[in-house]
Amino acid sequence: MSWRNWLTLLLLGAIWGGSFLFAKVAVAEIPPLVLVFLRVCLAAIALHCVLRLTGKRFPLEPRLLGAFLVMGLLNNAIPFSLIFWGQTAIAAGLASILNATTPIFTFLVAAVVLRQEPVRFHRIAGVLTGFGGVLLMLFQSLGQPGHDPLWAQLACLGAAVSYALAAAFARRFKHLPPLVSATGQLSGSTLIMLPMAMIFGAGWSPLETSGFVWMNVLALGLLATAFAYLLYFRLLAEAGATNASLVTLLVPASAILFGSLLLGEALKTYQFGGFGLLLAGLLLLDGRILSPFMKAKRAA
- Note the pLDDT of residue 300: 54
Residue 2's pLDDT is 84
**Distance between CA atoms of residues 250 and 275, nearest Å:** 12
Domain span including residue 168: 3-299
Q: How far is CA 161 from CA 17, 29, 146, 262, 300, in A?
A: 19, 27, 27, 29, 41
Number of compact structural domains in the chain = 1
Among candidate residues 187, 179, 184, 191, the one with its CA nearest the CA of residue 229: 179
- d(CA 80, CA 162) in angstroms, rounded, equals 10
Taking the CA atoms of residue 74, residue 12, residue 236 and residue 43 in that order, the dihedral angle to the nearest 10 degrees is 50
Structure confidence at residue 114 (pLDDT): 79
* pLDDT at site 82: 97
Note the Cα 236 to chain centre separation in Å: 16
Torsion of CA 250, 252, 256, 258, to 10 degrees: 60
The pLDDT score that the predictor gives to residue 295 is 58
**What is the predicted pLDDT for the residue at 236?**
83
pLDDT score of 85: 96
Give the pTM.
0.91
pLDDT tens string for the chain (300 positions)? Answer: 788 999 999 999 999 999 999 999 999 999 999 999 999 999 999 999 999 999 989 999 999 999 999 999 999 999 999 999 999 999 999 999 999 999 999 889 888 787 777 788 888 998 999 999 999 888 877 756 667 889 999 999 999 999 999 988 988 888 888 899 999 999 999 999 999 999 999 889 999 999 999 999 999 999 999 999 999 988 888 887 767 878 888 999 999 999 999 989 888 888 899 999 999 988 888 776 666 665 555 555
Contacts of 96 (CB under 8 A, 6+ apart): 17, 20, 251, 252, 254, 255, 256
Give residue 296's pLDDT.
Answer: 54
Residue 51 CA to residue 2 CA, distance in Å, equals 27
CA pseudo-torsion sign 34, 36, 37, 43:
positive
d(CA 212, CA 118): 48
Instruction: Check residue 294 and give its pLDDT.
Output: 53
